[in-house]
A and B are shown apart, each in its own frame.
Chain A
Amino acid sequence: MLRLPNFTLLQPQTLSEALALLAVDPHNTAILAGGTDLLPNMKRRQQTPRRLISLRHVSELHKLAVSDAEIRIGGAVRLRAIEDAPIIAEEALALRQAVSQIATVHIRGTATLGGNLCLDTRCDYYNQSEPWRQAIGYCKKKDGDICWVATSSPRCLAVSSTDAAPALMALDAKVQLRSVRGDRELSLSDLYHNDGIHYLTKRPDELLTQVRIPRRPGLRSAYWKLRRRGAFDFPLLGVAVAVQLDEEGLVRDARLALGAVSSQPILVEEAGKRLIGQELTNDQIDEVADAAYSLAKPMDHADMSLSYRKGMVRSLVRSALREVRGDDIAADRQRLMRMLG
């Protein structure tokens, strides 16, 4: 079977200790925040960090706290804990729906929010063993020159596969990054680059320590995910929406984000522009779906055909918006999630 390469495991007890360790040799260090993706990748030699810093004992990063203004989730909070937190179900349903569809319940017991937000981009030419990648002459993302997804592409087209990010973008969340050099806070969409290799704006010595979700009364949100199997699969498409309606049923604020259609999650700004001050009519929904459709650029590097995945953008955006409008489409959701039983 595949074996892990040798590495040094560092287990800091405090955040400052973790940051100090990270500052020593950030380019050869990976953060072990669950490791459910990192460790299999290391077995396949996609990543070969010499040092791993485990966040297991850094208690500051394991807290989920609520204040009047916001929900604060530590970077190392397990996905299962988010899924189980009543406040998330009540006020950030899109996040709950996204998180509960990540991997399997066993993996969610180990995987963390920070890990999912920083999840390595994925590609059928890259998520392969070392011998397989050797057989194709490697690729741009690791040890090669060509992006096999589109051989003339100047950049790596590996796809952003985080479910949590589009949900948190719709929820207007911010992330806190800390390093020994200081702290900064970014809106979630600013965390990402549209580049399969340099997909994060986070610097190697920075740690994603916290996610902050503003509490907005009456906010309705939803996350719809396309994947082959209901049991577990990375997203082939993620659609997250969050909408605030006023007392007359007009849209006060609307945010829509797409996942798994490019190297970064995409905020569909058109959605906000079109919907604010409007009723959520079928026509409005269709126009937003068209805008989202034109932004999505799925590639031939994942399961199912790219034309099918692109076509599904319209369908899932419509479903998500209809759901937050209050339509009863639980049966559609159930069917798409493909719990056949």
Chain B
Amino acid sequence: MSQRPLHIIGKARRRVDGRAKVSGETRFADDLILPRMLFCRLLRSPLPHARIVSIDVSRAQALPGVHLVLTGADLPTTFGILPVSQDEHALCLDKVRFVGDPVAAVIAQTELLAEEALALINVKYEPLTTIASPEEALAQSEPRIHDYGDSGNIHKSVAMSFGSVEQGFAEADHIFDDTFSYAGNTHLPLETHAAVAALDPDGKLTIWSSTQTPHYVHRSIAKVLALPPSRVRVIATPQGGGFGGKTDPFNHEIVICKAALVTGRPVKICLSREEVFYCHRGRHPVLMRLRCGVKQDGTLTALHLQTLLDGGAYGSYGVASTFYTGALQTVTYHLPSYRFEGCRVFTNKPPCGPKRGHGTVQPRFGQEVQLDKIAVALGLDPAELRLRIVEKPGALTANFLKIRTIGLAECIRSVVRRSGWADKHRKLPYGRGVGIACSSYLSGAGMPIYYNDMAHSGVQLKLDRSGLVTAFCGAAEVGQGSDDVLCASVAEVLGVEIADVKVVTGDTDLSPVDLGSYSSRVTLMMGNAAIQAAERARELVAGPVAAKLGVPVEQLVFSHGRVFPAAAPETGMSFREAVIIAEAVHGTLGTTGSYKPPKPAALFKGGGVGPSPTYSYTAAVIEVEVDPDTGWLHIEKIWIAHDIGRALNPTLTRGQVEGSVYMGLGEALMEEQAFRRLPPKLSGALVHRTPSILEYKSLTSLEMPDIDTELIEDPDPSGPFGGKEVGQGPLLPIMPALANAIFDAVGVRIDEVPITPEKILKGLANLQAGKPARVGPKGFPTVPYPEPLQVPTPWQGGDGRAVNDAVRSKDKRAKNV
């Protein structure tokens, strides 16, 4: 078929679900009301770590209006997002692992009644020693929070070496050794988690839930309730934000499904804000050490990165998070040798997991601040230093990640030019400064969460004589705009208007599987699947139309709702007429498309985390003003450039860039998932300090500075229409760019996040006292990392395998015996 310029893709448009969102018509999970619906509330543990001795629910059960009380014994099967971490119970079975761990559920006539009944449940606990921090987890192997994991309270400890860092350090002119810490923080979506479960008249179970991953929820519910998956339907409702906080299957989802099965009535739950802080799965607190070898001209020779993650009480995505803290150091700047050691421990706090930028945000902060220090020490401009070492397009990195297009240099030049960097860096008066940082992120994870050979995303199209094209896909619209991408991709290929396409998404009964809205995968994977389905549909329609018009198929153009020969547009017909002709020939019209990422080049154990069809790149410059008397920060402006490949809808793309900046700035300046431990002599409490949206400090729109965004467009052949990810990458440079700007302003290094006025004053006081003008972790503890996997780099002739994998697994087996 004849090529033509793009009509919809690349044009700034109102998103397909925009009007309903702003006019309040979108029905979120908590808006659903079904006849005879009951309400569920969860009783949560008041103790951080304890054995459950007994649970007496008789008084709660006897309360008029209470229909059902569930405890762990009713749902004994474990679940969890990763096959290797099936460590959660819908309701705690034998022990509780953090304050907020759910122990029992009441299903009652009203929410208030359910809550009153919770107080009538009598749980006897036997307290266990609390593990509050990574240091305690490393020091105390007993009591174990879980009876699985690498050892004691170490959940996962990994090590891998690519090439010889020893040789790299030997070749270096300078070795920089820095430690950084990054506080935990949470997603804070405006919509708290909510779900409704109901039995269909045919006995099948349906759950509507504010989830980013209906497919994984589907699997977990079927597993725990021992139902055939074909009898469970999960519908992802439109969401008021997820950011990674709704990517796990959750206790409450399973509990209300069970309750609907038992009572035969619809059951709803809507979590309170406090409960969302307990579901958490947010940013891991990470302590990290980076040793980096550098030549005098800025060339990197080696990087040795060590991370220690405070995982909280459950596995969640933690194994993946651990690998992610070491996965993407190689995709921005060329690293000839690299060693990564990572360790995640269990502690008695809400479980950490994936938050926007999953696991890569913390080491990116360390790496970009360290590069700034390197630039200062070598007397180089930090922007120039980065330009010298940017990785090349098409490169295969030391850890076998395949780079496709890389627009990082253009991004750096863009922010340098627009910010007036050359006239500002080290030239602004005391108290004012600029800082630069870069980042990269996956356009979708290369591997699925559970091992399988099937497609990662499927799209199905239905066309009929009405002229409407319906696109079905399991992708969950969480606010990121996936429905719009689906609609636009199909409309573009078929040459119809947005209004002629209807999307049905996130429904496991109706739509083909898409793995979910995480790892910035949806636009690329669903987009490619949609293009394939739409191209097949175009062919299906084109054949009969070409025959009817008596022209070769190759000459047909699908555009502006019409199908016509390129040479004689007036002889064509409307798209609807074309579909009618095709339907007469083929019968019912439908096509499918699917997408599966290319096989990763990394074949070593753990190499499944990091590969992606392609990577996005971002650079940012922040200009800041620091008041040396109060430590107060004022952000003058942020310039950001993002290598998007192609912006499918620039309005949404810019929205994602600015939303990322907003979230990153909140983390940089104030957000912290902090805990209080009371004096142990008086109390065993270990509680979230402020599980409220008022006291957990995060930015509001009123605090937002001016953002100047440029999209760098160089279409990537791997992406739909050349597009790459934008939902996460632009968050990453914000924290390090701010830290670097503060150094430029007042000469103080804040090697930890968040960067608060207190810390700036402390740094200034250190400076005045003649001490190092730095605020940050004092050192890095001894962590029992395993013997590293030795993987020769591509330039050493490596084939992506480790040379000592067999030896290591034998050792491990011996240890486990």
Of B47, B271, B670, the contact of A228 (CB 8 Å cutoff): B670
Residues of chain B from 534 to 565 with CB closer than 8 A to chain A in the complex: none
Closest B residue to A232 by beta carbon equals B700
Contact with A along B621-641 (1 / 0, CB 8 A): 000010101111011000000
Check if A312 is an interface residue, CB within 8 A of chain B: yes
Q: Which residues of B contact A336 (CB under 8 A)?
A: 630, 632
Contact, CB under 8 Å: B632 / A124: no
**Within the assembled complex, what's the spacing in Å between the Cα atoms of A338 and B705?**
10
The answer to whether A135 and B47 touch across the interface, beta carbons within 8 angstroms, is: yes
Q: Mark A146-159, 1 if CB is under 8 A from B, else 0.
A: 10100100000000
Residue A16 interfacial (CB < 8 Å): no
Nearest to B274 among chain A residues (CB) is: A129
A136 cross-chain contacts in B, Cβ below 8 A: 676, 678, 683, 685, 687
Q: List which A303-341 residues lie within 8 A (CB) of chain B.
A: 303-305, 307-308, 311-312, 315, 332, 335-336, 338-341
Q: Give A304 to B669 CA distance when docked, in angstroms.
A: 12
Question: What residues on B are CB-neighbors of A146 within 8 Å?
Answer: 682
Interface residues in A93-128 (C-beta closer than 8 Å to B):
124, 127-128
> Nearest CB to that of B42 among chain A residues?
A131
Asked whether A231 lies within 8 Å of B691 as measured between CB atoms, the reply is no
| Among candidates A2, A127, A135, residue contacting B272 with C-beta atoms closer than 8 Å | A2
How far is it, in angstroms, between the C-alpha of A182 and the C-alpha of B270 when the chains are bound?
Answer: 48
Contacts of A312 in B (CB 8 A): 630
Contact of A311 with B632 at beta-carbon distance under 8 Å, contacts A135-B685, A228-B697, A340-B705 already known: no
Q: Which residues of A contact B625 (CB under 8 A)?
A: 335
Select B629's contact among A132, A134, A137, A315, beta carbons within 8 Å.
A315
The answer to the question of B699 belonging to the interface, with a C-beta cut-off of 8 Å to chain A, is yes
Interface code B715-733, partner A: CB below 8 Å = 1, 0 otherwise?
Answer: 0000000000000000000
Quick check: B111 and A1 within 8 Å, CB to CB? yes
Q: Mark A197-237, 1 if CB is under 8 A from B, else 0.
A: 00000000000000000000000000000001111110000
A308, B629: Cα distance in complex, Å: 11
In the complex, B109 has a CB within 8 A of chain A? no
A340 near B678 with CB under 8 A, answer no
Contact of A341 (CB < 8 Å), options: B46, B690, B706: B706
Give the one of B30, B631, B690, B702 with max A CB within 10 A: B702
* Distance A5 CA – B690 CA, assembled complex (angstroms): 22
Main secondary structure of the interface of B (DSSP, over half): loop
Closest residue of B by beta carbon distance from A134: B46
| A181 contacts the other chain (CB 8 A) | no
Neighbouring A residues of B635 by C-beta, 8 Å = 340
Neighbouring A residues of B706 by C-beta, 8 Å: 341
Is B697 in contact with A229, judged by CB distance below 8 angstroms? yes
B99 within 8 A of A: yes
- The residue of chain B having its C-beta at the shortest distance from the C-beta of A332 within the complex is B627
Chain B residues whose C-beta falls within 8 Å of the C-beta of A307 in the assembled complex: 758
Chain B 691-708 against A: per-residue CB contact (8 Å), 1 yes, 0 no?
Answer: 110110101111111100
Contact string against A for B residues 388-426, beta-carbon threshold 8 Å, 1 for contact and 0 otherwise: 000000000000000000000000000000000000000
Q: Mark A1-13, 1 if CB is under 8 A from B, else 0.
A: 1111110000000
Known: A129-B274, A231-B700. A308 touches B758 (CB 8 A): yes
Contacting pair A3 B46 (CB below 8 A): no
A308 to B764, CA, bound (A): 14
User: Number of A-B pairs whose CB atoms are under 8 Å?
Assistant: 104
Please name all residues of chain A whose beta carbon is closer than 8 Å to the beta carbon of B44 when the two chains form the complex: 131
Residue B112 CB within 8 A of the other chain: yes
Question: Whose C-beta in chain A lies nearest to the C-beta of B707?
Answer: A341
Instruction: Give bound CA distance, A146 to B679, whole Å.
Output: 11
The one of B112, B689, B758 in contact with A3, judged by C-beta atoms closer than 8 angstroms, is: B112
Asked if A308 and B689 make an inter-chain contact with CB atoms under 8 angstroms apart, the answer reads: no
Q: Which of B271, B670, B679 sits near A151, CB closer than 8 Å? A: B679
Q: Which residue of A lies closest to B269 (CB)?
A: A1
**In whole angstroms, what is the CA distance A1 to B627 when docked?**
41
Q: How far is the CB of B762 from chain A (nearest CB, A)?
A: 9
B68 close to A (CB within 8 Å):
no
A230/B702 in contact, CB under 8 A? yes
Known: A135-B47, A135-B685, A341-B706. A229 touches B700 (CB 8 A): yes
Given contacts A231-B703, A340-B634, is CB(A124)–CB(B689) below 8 Å?
A: yes
State in angstroms the CA–CA spacing of A339 and B685 once bound together: 37
Q: How far is the CA of A230 from the CA of B678 in the complex (A)?
A: 31
Q: Inside 8 A of A304's CB, which chain B residues have their CB?
A: 756-758
A146 to B47 Cα, complex, angstroms: 18
Provide the bound-state CA to CA distance between A307 and B759, in Å.
12
Across the interface, name the chain A residue whose C-beta is closest to B111.
Answer: A3
Please tell me if the beta carbons of A311 and B761 are within 8 angstroms of each other in the complex: yes
| Neighbouring B residues of A335 by C-beta, 8 Å | 625, 627, 632, 634
Q: Which of A149-200 contact B (CB under 8 A)?
A: 151
* A151 in contact with B99 (CB, 8 Å): no
Q: Which of chain B's residues have a CB closer than 8 A to the CB of A233? A: 694, 697
Give per-residue flags for B454-482: 1 if the beta carbon is below 8 A from chain A beta carbons, else 0: 00000000000000000000000000000
- Once bound together, how far apart are the Cα atoms of A205 and B158, in whole Å? 66
Alpha-carbon separation in the docked complex, A308 to B682 (Å): 28
User: Is B192 at the interface (CB under 8 A from chain A)?
Assistant: yes
Q: Is the CB of B112 within 8 A of A315?
A: no
Whether the Cβ atoms of B703 and A341 lie closer than 8 Å is yes
- Please name all residues of chain A whose beta carbon is closer than 8 Å to the beta carbon of B691 when the two chains form the complex: 128-129, 132
Identity of the chain B residue whose Cβ is nearest the Cβ of A124 in the assembled complex: B690
**A303–B47 touching, CB < 8 Å:** no
What is the bound-complex CA distance between A339 and B676, given in angstroms? 30
Query: Which of chain A's residues have a CB closer than 8 A to the CB of B270?
Result: 1
Cα(A134)–Cα(B683), bound, Å: 11
Contact partners of B702 in chain A: CB under 8 A? 229-231, 339, 341
Task: Assess A340 versus B704: contact at CB under 8 Å? Given A129-B272, A135-B46.
Answer: yes
Taking the closest CB of chain A, its distance from the CB of B680, in whole angstroms, is 12
For residue B701, give the distance in angstroms from its CB to the closest CB of chain A.
Answer: 8
Residues of A within 8 A of B271 (CB): 1
Q: Is B115 an interface residue (CB 8 A)?
A: yes
For the complex, what is the distance from the CA of A332 to the CA of B627, rounded to whole Å?
A: 9
List the A side residues contacting B631 at CB < 8 Å.
308
Q: Report Cα–Cα, A339/B115, bound state, in Å.
A: 40
Q: Known: A1-B192, A1-B270, A308-B757. Is A148-B634 also a contact (CB below 8 A)?
A: no
- CB closest residue in chain A, given B705: A340
Query: Contacts A336-B630, A340-B635, A341-B704: A127 and B699 contacting too (C-beta < 8 A)?
Result: no
A311 → B minimal CB distance (Å):
7
Q: With the chains together, A236 CA to B758 CA distance in Å?
A: 14
Whole-angstrom CA separation of A148 from B683 in the bound complex: 10
Question: Which chain B positions have C-beta within 8 A of A4?
Answer: 112
For A341, what are the chain B residues with a Cβ–Cβ distance below 8 Å? 702-706
| Interchain nearest-CB distance for B707 vs A (Å) | 10
A315 to B110, CA, bound (A): 52
* Residues of B with C-beta under 8 A to A128: 691-692
Residues of A within 8 A of B697 (CB): 228-229, 233, 303
Q: Which of B192, B678, B692 contacts A148 (CB 8 A)?
A: B678
Closest to B630 in A: A315
- Whether B272 pairs with A1 at a CB distance below 8 angstroms is yes
Contact between A135 and B192 (Cβ–Cβ < 8 Å)? Answer: no
For residue A339, which residues in chain B have a CB less than 8 angstroms away from its CB?
702-703
12 contacts between A and B (CB under 8 A): A1-B270, A3-B111, A127-B695, A129-B272, A132-B274, A137-B685, A148-B678, A151-B679, A229-B697, A335-B634, A338-B703, A341-B703
Q: List 10 tightest A-B contacts by C-beta distance, closest first.
A: A231-B700, A231-B702, A135-B46, A3-B112, A340-B705, A308-B758, A136-B685, A340-B703, A228-B697, A135-B99
- Other than A6-B112, A136-B685, A233-B697, give 15 A-B pairs with Cβ distance below 8 A: A1-B270, A1-B271, A2-B272, A124-B690, A132-B688, A136-B683, A137-B685, A229-B670, A229-B700, A229-B703, A304-B758, A332-B627, A335-B634, A336-B632, A340-B704
B residues apposed to A, CB below 8 Å: 30, 44, 46-47, 99, 110-112, 115, 192, 270-272, 274, 625, 627, 629-632, 634-635, 670, 676, 678-679, 682-683, 685, 687-692, 694-695, 697, 699-706, 756-758, 761
